Amino acid sequence: MSVVVNLKQKKGFLKKPVKIEMPFLQSAVFDADMYFGVPNEAYVIDQYEGGTDIRETLFVLYRKDVYGRGMSFLVDKDYNIELVLNNPATQRDIESFYKVISFCCKQLKLDSFEQEDEIIKVSDIESKKNEIIGFNKSLVKTMFKPDLTLFGAIYPIAIEAEFIESLENMTEDEAYSAYEKYLDEKQKKDCYFAKPSLFNTAQDGEYIVARYVLTEDVPSIFPMKPYLPFGYRQDLKEKVQEWNVIIAGEREGKMQALAQIPFDELLNMLDREKLGKFDARHYIITIEKDFVNNLK
């Protein structure tokens, strides 16, 4: 479920479209007091390292004061813009979404935009924004199921059953505020989100090894069970024959691989019952130097 908005530049005889490049995006996020990045294959936010031409690159725009789900921003080859808001969105997400739309419409000299199958006038943004806020507020009380994964602005988050249960006796307003707080607290954790790298180790490509990398003394969001994140080809999961973990660390001034351990063996060595939880599918673990030294 999402809200999709398209801003299409007006076409006319010999009329050239406004070139929407990096300075345009920077101005848009600055105007809305936001930041931007690009999602990696695990849907974790990463820095954009491309050039000025931003066409066909999917960006995530988000706020840092209170982390929510943010929004996606995509410019096509003809310099039209698509903005997507994933539901359930926080109220701050929705307010920022329409603020970015207002900025873009002003720069492109548009008095209306497409939202789903509807043409919305810029002058009607306030009423449309309030309508979407009301709809999302009701969703928080009805749509969550245990282990449902939401794509936050920074991390994907698998909703915990305990959180869903906590909403049952709340009003819609209370639940909506609790949801925003939940997303913010999860995403303010300064952690590395561990994701697997896949390697074909046979000439026919049928023996696939998946390797996670953890770094000494770096808090890491690590899965309770191995899986391929949503940005990966899911059909490859059945072909993965080994799930391993590389532990990296600095020795003699250089980063290097210090150990390789099977996935389940590592978790058993760390005592799963005592590990901190990030969400319904992930622990937060920190590999300490003493642990690595004891492996030798």
Confidence (pLDDT) at 203: 65
List 245's β-bridge partners, or say none.
212, 261
Give pLDDT tens digits for 127-151: 999 999 999 999 998 889 887 999 9
Confidence (pLDDT) at 204: 64
The full set of domain ranges for the chain reads: 2-136, 192-293
Closest CA to 116 of 13, 209, 6: 6
In three-state secondary structure terms, 46 is strand
Q: Token pair for residue 126? A: 């306030």
- Intervals of the chain under pLDDT 50: none
Residue in the structure block whose two tokens are 């600055």: 30
Confidence (pLDDT) at 295: 80
Give pLDDT tens digits for 228-280: 998 888 888 888 889 999 999 888 888 888 899 999 999 989 888 888 899 99
Confidence (pLDDT) at 181: 97
Confidence (pLDDT) at 90: 96
CA angle (165, 84, 61) in 5-degree steps: 90
- CA–CA distance from 47 to each of 3, 118, 192 (Å)? 25, 34, 14
CB atoms within 10 A of CB 169: 8
Measured CA to CA, the distance from residue 204 to residue 211 in angstroms comes to: 19
Confidence (pLDDT) at 152: 96
